[in-house]
Structure 1
Amino acid sequence: MKHVYILLILISSVMFSQNEDVLPFREIPEYPDTYTTNLVAARMIDGLGFRYYWASEGLRTEDLLYKSSPDAREAQETIDHIYGLSKFIRNNMLPTNKDTSDKISDFKIKRQQTLMNLKAVSDALKSTNQPFDLKQTTVPFWNIINGPVEDAVWHCGQVVMMRRASGNPFTSNVSLFSGQVKK
């Protein structure tokens, strides 16, 4: 019986590590030949996903606990806020396929869910040639862009700053301009 438990733990570990390898937004997908309103909105979400992926990639416990001053947020609180913003974006942009999860305490799971929320929105926007129905959201679409989308981009920059200050700088092997990992 002991061997069965060990085998199950090993299989779970391998499956989880493989799942980490396939998280979305390691790179931004190739851009399309044409543009539509949906594709522009999706590209904004892709850019946010890419920045979040790399801002949060390889964070250590000491990075998550870092805060710039006694009354500032810890990096993990900023990560929590970005997750909340991704959930707000998904739940207001998608008529179905909502993120109904409760508070997530594990950083790796929260990171994965944040990226999956953004991926769901990006995929939904890319999946149709029909213009996005501005009336399908509970808040104005434009407020989603200048509110939670841009707020999340802002907070990704804060995470990058905090990780640098805690001794774990953002990788230089990423091009924010092209959305690609440098070869």
Structure 2
Amino acid sequence: MKSFNLILLVVCSFVYSQEELKDKLPYYEVPEYAEEFTAGTMAARMVDALGFRYYWASKDLNEKDLAYRLNEKGRSTAETINHIYELSIIIVNSTLQKPNSRGDKVEMTYKEKRTATLNNLKKASDILHVSNDISQFKIIFGEQKIPFWNQINGPIADAIWHCGQIAVYRRVTKNPINPKVNHFTGKIRN
């Protein structure tokens, strides 16, 4: 019987680790920093910091968390997740030099939005990281082309702000983020 339990434990551990690998998302930790400071590596690092904060603020939210809102006028956590997703589209579209379109709503679950948001941020960071000239990246709405500077004080800063909002909401709903998250180092403490 002991050998059967041991075999079962090994098989379950293998299946769990395979499942974990399959669902691996970017920003469990902040990627290693670049060797040199450039406009591209600095912008990429800002997006990476956002990705890390979003990863942990949005990890393992339950229905109670998603439904929480401070008051009737404010967004719920689920609506805030949606807003951050929309901001991630603006961020990645800028690096892809692709126009933004308003009103293209796609129905997704919380987990699908979370995955898409993290992947959008990773894609944007990867592009920025190797770019020598980030002035080429504009936020495009129709004929309007807005400089990359607005990306920093606009969508990136706004999304970071909302990650903090989700973290606070989680405390209220008694589901705080992992206490081992170290925002200063971008790593998880042992």
- Normalising by the smaller structure, the TM-score range is 0.7 to 0.9
In the other structure, the counterpart of 1:24 is 26
User: How many residues get paired?
Assistant: 168
TM, length-normalised to structure 2: 0.80
Q: Is the 8 A contact 1:42 1:122 kept in 2?
A: yes
In the other structure, the counterpart of 2:128 is 125
Cα RMSD for the two superposed structures: 2.5
Separation in structure 2 between the aligned mates of residue 24 and residue 83 of structure 1, nearest angstrom: 15
Matches within 5 A, 1:55-70: 55-70=57-72
Q: Is the 8 A contact 2:44 2:125 kept in 1?
A: yes
In the other structure, the counterpart of 1:8 is none
1:163 aligned to which of 166, 170, 185: 170
In the other structure, the counterpart of 2:84 is 82
TM, length-normalised to structure 1: 0.83
Residue 159 (structure 2) pairs with residue 152 (structure 1): yes
Separation in structure 2 between the aligned mates of residue 136 and residue 156 of structure 1, nearest angstrom: 24
1:13-65 deviation per Cα after TM superposition (whole angstroms, max 9, x unaligned): x9875432x20011001112221110000000000000000000111111000
Q: Is the 8 A contact 2:135 2:147 kept in 1?
A: no
In the other structure, the counterpart of 2:38 is 36
Which protein has the larger Cα radius of gyration, Structure 1 or Structure 2? 2
Separation in structure 1 between the aligned mates of residue 52 and residue 124 of structure 2, nearest angstrom: 14
Percent identical residues = 42
Q: 1:45 to 1:135 in 2, by over 3 A?
A: closer
The structure showing larger relative contact order (alpha-carbon pairs under 8 Å, at least 6 residues apart) is 1
Deviation, structure 1 residue 135: 6.0
Deviation, structure 1 residue 156: 0.4
Separation in structure 2 between the aligned mates of residue 137 and residue 158 of structure 1, nearest angstrom: 25
Deviation, structure 1 residue 137: 4.4
Moved >3 Å (runs of 4+): 14-19, 133-137
One-letter identity of the residue aligned with 1:152? A
Q: Is the 8 A contact 2:139 2:151 kept in 1?
A: no
Q: 1:40 to 1:68 in 2, by over 3 A?
A: same
In the other structure, the counterpart of 1:142 is 149
1:89-118 deviation per Cα after TM superposition (whole angstroms, max 9, x unaligned): 11122126x99x842330101000000000
1:173 aligned to which of 173, 180, 183: 180
Question: Gaps spanning 5+ residues in structure 1: where?
Answer: 1-13
Q: Is the 8 A contact 1:104 1:110 kept in 2?
A: no
Deviation, structure 1 residue 167: 0.9
Question: Gaps spanning 5+ residues in structure 2: where?
Answer: 1-16, 141-145
Deviation, structure 1 residue 83: 0.3
Q: 1:160 to 1:136 in 2, by over 3 A?
A: closer
